[in-house]
């Protein structure tokens, strides 16, 4: 995990270890894989496991879908207060101090890559050993991170690695400046273009280049996966997916907008307000970082309009589609509580208004952690499917990301059914 000491990554790491050492405190509530059942009452986990075995075929019958206890989690961290797992857990205060010891292994995280053009960390908090544009070229950073991945695999005797960017939201790159082919990507690396290759891309490129079989997931809101990067993963026969986790407010939006559209009620506007008091919220304060998040949070309304041309006629007479306003504020005293307030305005017959208001308060991290497990397991499952490319994997995993590079439906049930059909027996 890049950002291994963060709220999500460190809590996820703790949960995997606590599961391994027999703690009954980890329910994984919120994980489709661990807790949901299909219509026939069969657990999703069992179904996925059987589906995976049959896909891998007779030659690989011993291969199985793993359980969280079997995962080994490590990674890179740039903040000196979170250089080890136990220090990060103590700092983040998601897992209570008396429970921290239930994870048996403290892990020292690697230093990783930092570029203050993309996110800003207080200089006094930056680890002295991070790689920055001042002391490492892109090629050197890539050599180190690639070798970190292969060493980790060798030390823990792993067949497969998922590199997950769980760092803070970087500033997004203008798409016209991003590499659109592998050649352009190589040229940018050669000429050390650190202004358009942010750290999240360095982790991704290293995942594509590592000798160990590797996949990549971007959980943050910036547009890490350029066309050039996707081409690189496709060429290597590896999967790279994701842009911004879909954990709470946007997920509920996929359910409510589906309901309104399916019952034939046109939405006129969605106004979304969020407050966050955790480290993630704090790092979103600079306007250009926040813009990355606003982009992914706002991206669904055009897709909704396309699902029903009776409600949303594409003609000129239509008054501009669903208006979507999103705002995000940082309120330190709210801590890890995510507070979301959404107003859905729609129209009934005789032009009479219909409004729905939702309010959600919950620990942000505890929404995300079970979803990280789902992403990893389902991704590995798709990775074992012959002929799978990044775009198709991304479309299948749309349930978990706000702005997948390819979106077939903006609605929850369609996204859920598509995934289940692909991975369950």
Ligand X SMILES: NC(=O)c1ccc[n+]([C@@H]2O[C@H](COP(=O)([O-])OP(=O)(O)OC[C@H]3O[C@@H](n4cnc5c(N)ncnc54)[C@H](O)[C@@H]3O)[C@@H](O)[C@H]2O)c1
Binding site for ligand X (CB under 6 A): 2-3, 5-9, 76-79, 82, 112-114, 119, 166-169, 199, 219-221, 244-245, 247, 278-280, 283, 364-365, 367-368
Phi, psi (rounded to 5 degrees) for 189: -65, -45
In the block, which residue shows the tokens 């979507």? Answer: 324
Decide whether 33 or 85 has the Cβ nearer to ligand X: 85
Q: How far apart are CA 200 and CA 185, in angstroms?
A: 14
- Phi-psi region for residue 349, left (φ > 0), alpha (ψ -120 to 50) or beta? beta
Decide whether 5 or 74 has the Cβ nearer to ligand X: 5
Decide whether 37 or 361 has the Cβ nearer to ligand X: 361
Decide whether 11 or 257 has the Cβ nearer to ligand X: 11
Phi, psi (rounded to 5 degrees) for 87: -65, -40
Task: Kindly state the smallest distance separating residue 115's Cβ from ligand X, in Å.
Answer: 7
Decide whether 148 or 280 has the Cβ nearer to ligand X: 280
Task: Kindly state the smallest distance separating residue 111's Cβ from ligand X, in Å.
Answer: 8
DSSP 338: E
Return all residues near 14 (Cβ < 8 A) that are at least 6 apart.
85, 89, 95, 100, 102, 103
Decide whether 49 or 243 has the Cβ nearer to ligand X: 243
Q: How far apart are CA 237 and CA 26, in angstroms?
A: 34
Q: How far apart are CA 317 and CA 309, in angstroms?
A: 13
Task: Kindly state the smallest distance separating residue 353's Cβ from ligand X, in Å.
Answer: 31
Task: Kindly state the smallest distance separating residue 307's Cβ from ligand X, in Å.
Answer: 24
Question: Nearest to ligand X by Cβ — which residue?
Answer: 6
Return all residues near 49 (Cβ < 8 A) that are at least 6 apart.
64, 65
Strands (E), 281-388: 323-330, 337-347, 353-363
Task: Kindly state the smallest distance separating residue 276's Cβ from ligand X, in Å.
Answer: 9
Task: Kindly state the smallest distance separating residue 368's Cβ from ligand X, in Å.
Answer: 4
């Amino acid at each position: 995990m890049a950002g291994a000491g963060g709220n999500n990554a460190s809590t996820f790491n703790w949960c995997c270890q606590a599961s391994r050492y027999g703690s009954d405190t980890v329910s994984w509530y919120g994980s489709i894989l661990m807790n949901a059942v299909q219509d026939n009452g069969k657990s999703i986990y069992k179904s996925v496991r059987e589906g995976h075995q049959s896909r891998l075929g007779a030659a690989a019958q011993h291969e199985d879908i793993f359980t969280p206890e079997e995962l080994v989690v490590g990674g890179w961290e740039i903040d000196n207060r979170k250089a080890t797992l136990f220090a990060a857990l103590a700092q983040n205060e998601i897992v209570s101090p008396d429970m921290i010891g239930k994870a048996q292994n403290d892990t020292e995280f690697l230093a990783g890559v930092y570029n203050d053009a993309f996110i800003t960390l207080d200089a006094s908090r930056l680890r002295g050993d991070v790689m920055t544009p001042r002391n490492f070229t892109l090629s050197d950073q890539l050599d180190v991170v690639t070798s970190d991945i292969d060493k980790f695999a060798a030390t823990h005797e792993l067949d497969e690695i998922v590199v997950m960017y769980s760092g803070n939201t970087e500033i997004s790159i203008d798409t016209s400046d991003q590499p659109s082919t592998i050649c352009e990507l190589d040229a940018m690396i050669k000429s050390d273009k650190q202004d358009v290759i942010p750290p999240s891309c360095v982790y991704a490129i290293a995942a594509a280049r590592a000798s160990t079989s590797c996949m990549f997931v971007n959980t943050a809101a910036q547009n890490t996966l350029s066309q050039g990067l996707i081409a690189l993963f496709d060429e290597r026969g590896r999967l790279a997916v994701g842009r911004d986790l879909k954990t709470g407010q946007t997920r509920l939006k996929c359910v409510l907008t589906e309901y309104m559209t399916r019952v034939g009620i046109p939405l006129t506007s969605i106004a979304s307000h969020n407050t966050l008091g955790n480290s993630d919220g704090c790092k979103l304060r600079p306007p250009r970082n926040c813009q990355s998040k606003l982009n992914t949070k706002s991206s669904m309304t055009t897709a909704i309009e396309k699902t029903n041309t009776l409600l949303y006629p594409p003609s000129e007479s239509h008054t501009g589609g669903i208006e979507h306003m999103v705002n995000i504020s940082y309120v330190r005293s709210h801590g890890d509580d995510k507070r979301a307030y959404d107003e859905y305005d729609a129209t009934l017959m005789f032009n009479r208004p219909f409004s729905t208001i939702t309010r959600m308060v919950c620990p942000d991290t505890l929404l995300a952690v079970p979803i990280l497990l789902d992403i990893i397991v389902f991704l590995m499952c798709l990775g074992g499917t012959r002929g799978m490319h990044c775009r198709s994997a991304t479309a299948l995993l749309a349930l978990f990301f706000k702005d997948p590079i390819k979106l077939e439906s903006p609605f929850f049930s369609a996204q859920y059914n598509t995934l289940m059909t692909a991975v369950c027996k």
